[in-house]
Structure 1
């Protein structure tokens, strides 16, 4: 994977767990796993992937993410794409290893209304 292809910056985060006296283990704050790493984010082509939830039209915005190989990434993490406005994505596919630890590719999805 050539460095010139990695022209975006992303932050990868994982959610912590908090033990509360009343409810036990609950989702906690997100913590940074890797900050502003070089990446290639490719938007998938538009489709008719739109639905209505509670009277609000919701469109899924799929994308693919490629980064250099990084150990320990899982699908329960999230990715923030940094740009003019930060976009937060959930990981819906992967992470998959490219080559012999040359890189990682993941399928991402952001929700918009």
Structure 2
């Protein structure tokens, strides 16, 4: 059954799974550090078609790039983690959703950048 949900050929990208590392000192609050859970995880990353992708966050116009990420089932991925693919850092915004009976996982992710002309 798992083979019909996620075929090896569909997992054509490689991502790194990262988790937040808890800061110990009072002065470290807010200086988010990330640790690698696993490198080189086969995944399918599908961008969602654009539609009203810009929004206002704390008075700054931000553009989001939503995508769907699918991978083989694993039980060590939590919603507070993130995925990295090259220079693209993707925050998990929903999921994990189990596909079938441990046939795979699906996440909705977004990466952020300031909107407008970067020149």
TM range (shorter): 0.7 to 0.9
**TM-score of the pair, normalised by structure 2:** 0.82
Report what 1:4 is aligned to. Answer: 9
Relative to its length, the structure with more helix (as a share) is: 2
Q: CA offsets per residue over residues 36-69 of structure 1, 9 Å max, x none?
A: 1110000001001312446643111100000001
- How far does residue 34 in structure 1 lie from its aligned partner after superposition? 1.3
**TM-score of the pair, normalised by structure 1:** 0.86
Cα root mean square deviation, aligned: 1.9
Distance 2:16 2:38 in 1: 6
SS at match of 2:55: strand
Distance 1:54 1:29 in 2: 23
Q: Which of the numbers 33, 47, 50 marks the counterpart of 1:43?
A: 47
Listed as ranges, the gaps of 5+ residues in structure 1 are: none
Equivalences for residues 61-100 of structure 1 within 5 A: 61-82=65-86, 86-100=87-101
Listed as ranges, the gaps of 5+ residues in structure 2 are: 1-5, 115-119
Distance 1:79 1:54 in 2: 24
Q: How many residues align?
A: 108
The answer to which of 98-107 and 56-65 deviates more is: 56-65
